[in-house]
Amino acid sequence: MTRWLPLVATLGLLLGALTLTFRAAPPGGDMADFLPRSDRAEARFLLGELQTGAATTLLLAGIEGAEPGELARLSRAVGDALRTSGNFAFVANGNQDVSEAEREQLFAYRYLLSPLTEPAIFTAPALRTKLEALLDGLGSSAAPLLRQFGFADPPGAFIALARGLIGTSSVTLREGVWFAGGEAGPRALLLARSRANGLDPVGQQTAADTIRAAFAAATPGSARLLLSGPGVFAAEAARAIRGDVEMISILSAVLIAALLLWRTRSFTMLALVGVPLAAGTLAGFLAVVAIFGSVHGAAFGFGMTMLGVAVDYPILLLTQREGTEALAATARRIWPTLRLAALAAIIGMVAMLGAGFSGLQQLAVFAAVGLLVSALVTRYLLPRLAQPFGIAARPLPDAVIALLRAMPCARIGALALIVATAFGLLAMGGPPVERDISALSPVPEAPRRLDAELRAALGAPDVGTFIVLPAADAEAALQASERAARALAPLLADGRLAGLDHPARYVPSATTQRARQAMLPGDATLREALDTARAGLPFRATAFDPFLEGVARSRTLPPLSATDLAPGSALAARIAPLLAPDAAGWHALMLPAGLTDPDALRAALAGETGALVIDLRAELSTLLGDASLRAALAAALGAALVLAMLVIGLGSVRAGLHAALPIAGALLLTIASLALLGERLNLFHLAACLLLAGIALDYSLFLRRLDASTPTAEAARTLAAVLTCMLATLLTFGLLAVCTTPVLRSIGLTVALGVVYAFLLAATLAPRSARTT
């Protein structure tokens, strides 16, 4: 029993320290750490919008599957619950969204805000036409609305203003709730904006869960809730990835345990393998916290994947033992090779510090420190813990060993394959690179179609191209949007632009509001025009006094500013994505719809200083390409440093190149295979190549010591140890390769293919003469 005490105590201390560390500094989830950096103004603005823009916090909901009356009840119940939850900055689902106070404010400012305001609408002929229409309407179903607004606003400025707030929405109002048609019949609609950052998956998950809980609490019966939006996608993506990782972790742990049990027939082996891994995890986590202040959850997850190289270290130690040799002696014997492999892998990771992503830098620090500590624990602590157990590896069948030892006979063929692959990649201009960021999305096509459908119904922006107008303050931004709208008017007129949304549509600049005030007629002039227009019509003389009073009041109102709007009001929610402060002051956004001539749009805005026209898809593609290039350059730097380390460690340039050849060959064959499988290289393939290089390095350095003169027993032990390492890696990453999540599939497929190539090439290209390292 006493022989177990050191191992159990060590594992207990490590796991306890890990638990305390995770509780004290839990991994974060701000995806901004994984956004690339750029010096381009368009890219900087886009990245800022992805982090803090109002559009990324929008949630769209539909309720269907019941009668309209029941759907209306559910919509009201859900809307009320969301407004009281505190998780949302704005909730809208019908006419109750405009409070009485906001309605009064908008009505008072109708002639300053409405685009209809011009001298012509106050002339007698124009008023006559409106009064006749009012008279006809009082006998129709619109009579209640006309009695409320028609006498105080016969020109219809307020109705025009209200229609502008609806925008391109196709909703109808039933029982005070928004409705639109869906595939399954009538659908009640709801729009909400969460308070959480758009790149905070936990906050977005909370917002989505709040909506689902509110719907469940409303006793929905047969009705169904449909939920979409960027926040929902982010939360669902995080959930999908977490589910895949949990499933793969369990399956791979079982399979690797079975492999190690078959090789060693000892459950103790499983605990011993866990010691360097736990120590490396703890050290890597603490290093990242010390340098960056916190650990991103994705950096931790991918860092653990990279740290998987460390699992090879105890396997190599415990399966390379010669007979009754003390494990401390085994550790000393293999340490020069193991040390060189670990240092080279660490240098490759450290090179990623120049990739320009905080998340990738965290990953690099985590993996580098973790590998260093894992190697040191394997060298100095693990022999003492494992010595009492006398673990011996089951030998491989003689036929397998004979086959592996005969593989150097195919050296010429392997070299020819590597050369042909290199020329093939050059001939095709390099491997295809993924520049469409949507291809990396784990969100299936059906939810994306639902999102487009809900956006179209609610008039929510689904932006392909947008215009950014920087300014010193809100008033200057509104003036800039008005100038740009005038410049783009010809494109609207000839159909090259189907529509244009911008903040001044809802709250014009103070300059425009004052200009509209100047257009308002004096009391006597307006009364005279009104009396002329009313002549012969059955209206009382005082019927339109509210109109006269409203125009008189409008002449004295101070201009309405965007900052005067009540937080959470319908107008504030409408303008929030289009007018906002930023680090340099303020900016206005313009959203063109149905754009067919981007060059004409840019030309029309050439006179607007600082205006940015951003094609979202093209900009994201550029960002992704730039980020991939930086990561590739960092990886290339790492490769150069690793080669230098091999040259120094092995004592000659020739030996270093020989050791690097299987690694380079494995990477070339892997990239070519990905291209043949239709894969387009992305950042995650590149990250996986770094891991693959570290794994291949172990195989190359240990197998290069074998030649025809190596004793059969030693060759068998080494080949079996490296084969076990390869199979353990393959069991993990082979499972990842069949995941539906693009990120995990990219990593899994790359490493699964690569480790097979790395092992086969390392065994085939082993030098003809032995060399001590």
Residue 363 lies in a domain: yes
pLDDT at 445 (0 to 100): 62
In this structure, the answer to whether residues 411 and 358 fall within a common structural domain is no
Over the chain (773 residues), what is each successive 10-residue block's mean pLDDT? 83 91 75 61 69 71 89 90 87 70 87 91 93 86 80 89 66 78 75 78 84 92 86 70 71 82 84 90 91 77 70 85 84 90 80 67 86 93 88 81 86 93 90 72 66 67 77 93 93 88 91 94 93 91 92 94 78 81 86 86 88 81 74 76 84 88 92 90 79 82 77 82 86 78 80 92 72 37
- Out of 352, 370, 393, a domain closes at 393
Residue 377 lies in a domain: yes
The domain that contains 291 carries what CATH number? 1.20.1640.10
Residue 62 lies in a domain: no
In this structure, the answer to whether residues 425 and 364 fall within a common structural domain is no
**Which H or E run includes 355?**
none
Burial class (CB in 10 A: 0-12, 13-18, 19+), 753: buried
- Which residues constitute the domain of residue 676? 398-448+617-773
In this structure, the answer to whether residues 334 and 420 fall within a common structural domain is no
- Out of 350, 369, 393, a domain closes at 393
In this structure, the answer to whether residues 691 and 650 fall within a common structural domain is yes
Question: Rg of the chain's alpha carbons, rounded to an integer?
Answer: 34
Domain count, the chain: 2
In this structure, the answer to whether residues 725 and 622 fall within a common structural domain is yes
In this structure, the answer to whether residues 722 and 755 fall within a common structural domain is yes
Report how far residue 59's alpha carbon sits from residue 87's, in angstroms, rounded to the nearest whole number. 12
- The Cα-based distances of 657 to 279, 628, 640, 723, 759 in angstroms read 33, 27, 11, 23, 17
pLDDT at 768 (0 to 100): 54
Residue 289 lies in a domain: yes
Residue 412 lies in a domain: yes
Residue 704 lies in a domain: yes
Tokens standing for residue 602: 């840019």
pTM of the prediction?
Answer: 0.69
- Out of 358, 393, 428, a domain closes at 393
In this structure, the answer to whether residues 732 and 624 fall within a common structural domain is yes
Q: Determine the 3-state secondary structure of 303 from DSSP.
A: helix
Report how far residue 451's alpha carbon sits from residue 445's, in angstroms, rounded to the nearest whole number. 10
Burial 435-452 (b: 16+ CB within 10 A, else e): beeeebebbeeeeeebbe
What residues have CB less than 8 Å from 229, skipping those under 6 apart?
58, 59, 60, 451
In this structure, the answer to whether residues 370 and 411 fall within a common structural domain is no
In this structure, the answer to whether residues 689 and 723 fall within a common structural domain is yes
Residue 333 lies in a domain: yes
In this structure, the answer to whether residues 653 and 760 fall within a common structural domain is yes
pLDDT at 355 (0 to 100): 59
In this structure, the answer to whether residues 690 and 757 fall within a common structural domain is yes
Residue 166 lies in a domain: no
Nearest alpha carbon to residue 49 among 352, 598, 450, 468: 468
In this structure, the answer to whether residues 364 and 407 fall within a common structural domain is no
